[in-house]
Structure 1
Amino acid sequence: MILNSINFFFRVFGEIRKILFSMLISCCSLQIYAEESIMLDRVVAVVNKAVILESELNQEIFLRNSLFQNPSAISDETKQFILENMINDLVLLQRAKRLNISVDSKTVLRVIKNISEEKKMSLKLFEAQLKKEGLNLELFKKNIEKEILLRRLRERELQDKLIISDTEAKNFLETQGKNNLITDEVLIKHLKFPFDETVTEQERMKLKIKVNEILENHEKKFKEKGEKFWAEDGREFETWEWKSFEKLPEIFVDSLRNSAAGGFVQVIESGSGFHLLFLSERRSSIIKDEVTVYKARHILKKVAVNTKETTTLKLMERLMQRIQQGESFSSLAEEFSDDITSAQNGGELNWSYPGDLVLPFERVALSLSPGEVSAPVRTMFGYHLIQLLEKKQILIDEQRQLNIAKTMIRERKIPEVTEEWIRDLRENSYVEIKSKEF
Structure 2
Amino acid sequence: MKIKLSDCLRPLMLGALLSQACSLPALAEVTALDRVVAIVDNDVVMQSQLDQRLREVQQTIAKRGAALPPEHVLSQQVLERLIIENIQLQIGDRSGIRITDEELNQAVATIAQRNNLTVEQFSQALQRDGLSLDDAREQVRREMIISRVRQRRVAERIQVTDQEVENFLASDLGKLQLSEEFRLANILIPLPEGSSAETIQAAQRQADELYQQLRQGADFAQLAISRSAGDTALEGGELGWRKAAQLPPPFDAMVSALSKGEVTEPIRTASGFNIIKLLDKRGGDTQLRDEVHVRHILLKPSEIRSEEQTRQLAERLYERIQSGESFAELAKTFSEDPGSALHGGELDWIDPNALVPEFRAEMEQSQVGQVSKPFKSPFGYHVLEVLGRRATDSSEQFRKQQALSLLRNRKYDLELQSWLRQIRDEAYVESKL
Q: With structure 1 as the length reference, what TM-score do the two structures score? A: 0.40
Q: With structure 2 as the length reference, what TM-score do the two structures score? A: 0.40
Could you say which structure has the larger radius of gyration?
2
Greater RCO (CA < 8 Å, at least 6 residues apart) = 1
